Amino acid sequence: MRASFILVVAVAVSSTPLRAQDRYLTAAEYSVAIPLGDTHRFDASGSWSGANWEGRWMGWPYMSVGTLVGFNEFYDRKSGTFDFPGGAATGDQYRHLLVIPALVTGARYFTANSDDPRWYIGGGAGIQYTQQSFQLGLQEKHRGNWGIVLVPEIGLAFAAWYGTGGIVSLRYHLPTESGSFLASGQRRFQYISLSAGFGYR
């Protein structure tokens, strides 16, 4: 929670432009996410807590390159009994997954005029820190792991008023597998995020 708070403040503050310039688009995005695969198995509830900071250099008519730093959180508290191989447990459970990707991104736009809304396809690659927490009653366990992540995306970049603009993006987060998470076996915490951001260009 504290880490998320600090990151959100950093995202919002850093979206303040040093100077407006049409070749750059800097946006702070709010992000929601749907869990897939191992993420869904760990916590089936969606993520309403997420944010990104994204910067794009629009140096070409149809292309841009940039960076993205953000996070999505999946968390759920529920009571009940759940089975696991070799037993069962009953109690108040809290599951939390925090994913923090840092990406180098690229996008290909379908039109050239950056003053018009432009659809694009693109993607990013980079590193990702994932922290998994599980609490049952008094027992609490945490695991953190660094990995590589690929994030293909489709979206819409648009210009608004007074040198502002924004990005709406649908991203698929595909990290590498790791055996460093809770319980045995390899885990790959995938999800689809929908982000909408506003910023300056």
Partner 1 sequence: MRVHATVIMLGVFFTAVGCYPEQINSISQLASVTTLVDSQAPLRNARTFALPDTIVHITAGAGVIGHEGDKQLVARVRAELVALGWREITDVRAERPDVVVLMAVTEQTNTGVAYGGWWSDWGWWPGWPVTYGTDWAWGYPANAVTFTYETGTLLITMLDVQHGNESTKRVPLIWAAGVNGVLTSTSLEGALNGIDQAFTQSPYLERK
> Would you tell me which residues interact with partner 1 (CB under 8 A)?
1, 4-5, 8-9, 11-12, 15-17, 28, 30, 48-51, 73, 75-77, 79, 81, 86-92, 94, 136-139, 161-162, 164, 198, 200
Considering beta carbons, is residue 30 or 119 the nearer one to partner 1?
30
Whose tokens are 């694009």? That residue is 120
Q: Which amino acid, one-letter code, is at 153?
A: E
CB atoms within 10 A of CB 20: 12
Considering beta carbons, is residue 79 or 110 the nearer one to partner 1?
79
Structure tokens at 74: 């999946």
Q: What is the CA radius of gyration of the chain?
A: 19
Structure tokens at 106: 């690229």
Give the whole-angstrom CA distance, residue 22 versus residue 34. 33
Considering beta carbons, is residue 11 or 149 the nearer one to partner 1?
11
Considering beta carbons, is residue 48 or 62 the nearer one to partner 1?
48
Give the whole-angstrom CA distance, residue 21 versus residue 114. 12
Contacts of 129 (CB under 8 A, 6+ apart): 99, 100, 144, 145, 146
Considering beta carbons, is residue 77 or 108 the nearer one to partner 1?
77
Q: How far is the CB of 86 from partner 1 (least distance, A)?
A: 6
Q: How far is the CB of 179 from partner 1 (least distance, A)?
A: 23
Q: How far is the CB of 9 from partner 1 (least distance, A)?
A: 8
